[in-house]
Amino acid sequence: MKEIKVESFSHFIQKIENNCSSDDFLFRGQNNDWPLRPKLGRLVEDGLIRDKSIKIEKLEIKLLETFKRFAKPHINELPQNQFQLLALAQHHGLPTRLLDWTSSPLVALWFTVEKPCENDYGVVWAFEPIKDGYLNNAMEDVELSSIDKTIIFQPELISPRIISQNGWFSVHAFNESKDNFTRFDKIKRYKDLLIKFTIDKSLFKDIRHSLDRCGINQSTMYPGIDGVAGYSSWNHTLLKDES
């Protein structure tokens, strides 16, 4: 794995151009240097599940069933494809086996600096998917429990957020020996391809404003009235690292 320390917004752009020139690269921004494990896996790892005896794959089924039942009044038509359903649920906050990625390095950078840093630095991860690593038509009807390797897919444009964030996902296989979903940075065929950009918390404020000048902010990343309210608030108040 290659690690690059970012020195400024322009330095980040330069390093992206030098190291991620292919259009196939995907990026993920994190406010902290958390492991690349899906949210559902992190909740299990941290012991934040009500039924401690339930297996993670059974929990996943129950979560999706509950989501489908309560989402019907709010969505015209739920996706029939399980991968698209997972994508929709993930974008609305349901913990799943998916990990969010984007084809835009600036979108990833924004998710890194959106809020004040919780630690000493944030990160942007980058990698180029291998050619046989994408979801194909033959896989679409496969049961989630049968997935034996982590795969990459681009969801249908079923949500304004997916569109604005240039969303992609990695669908993580279950690791029986770990009793959890495989961490992306532990996958043999990807761990040496990953690039890790580290951004010191002292840079967050300036990068946040640089991204805003490029049209990357709450109102564009979260289309709708919530994003507008958040952006309006940020324009007239200060975050902790801006005071």
In a domain, 171, yes or no: yes
Helix (H) or strand (E) holding 27: strand 26-30
Do the Cβ atoms of 197 and 207 come closer than 8 Å? no
Residue 216 lies in a domain: no
Distance of CA 57 to the CA centre of its chain: 20
Q: Within 10 A of 191 (CB to CB), how many other CB atoms are there?
A: 14
Residue 103 lies in a domain: yes
Q: Is residue 234 part of a domain?
A: no
The answer as to whether 184 is a domain residue is: yes
Q: Cβ(150)–Cβ(230) under 8 Å?
A: no
**Does residue 224 lie within any of the structural domains?**
no
Spell out the per-residue pLDDT of the chain, length 243, in tens: 999 999 999 999 999 999 999 999 999 999 999 999 999 999 988 999 999 888 898 999 999 999 999 998 998 888 888 899 999 999 889 999 999 999 999 999 999 999 999 899 999 999 999 988 998 876 777 778 788 899 999 998 878 888 999 999 999 998 887 788 999 999 999 989 999 999 999 999 999 999 999 999 999 999 999 999 999 999 999 999 998
Burial zone of 126 (CB within 10 Å; 0-12 exposed, 13-18 middle, 19+ buried) = buried
From 231, 33, 14, 10, select the one nearest 125 (Cα to Cα): 33
Whether 210 maps to a domain, the answer reads: no
DSSP E strand boundaries for 41-166: 98-102, 121-127, 151-153
Q: What is the pLDDT of residue 138?
A: 62
> How many C-beta atoms surround the C-beta of residue 152 within 10 A?
19
Residue-range definition of the domain harbouring residue 56: 2-203
Q: What's the number of domains the chain is made of? A: 1
Q: How many CB atoms lie within 10 A of CB 57?
A: 16
- Round to whole Å and give the CA distance between 243 and 240: 6
pLDDT at 148: 86
Residue 82 maps to a domain: yes
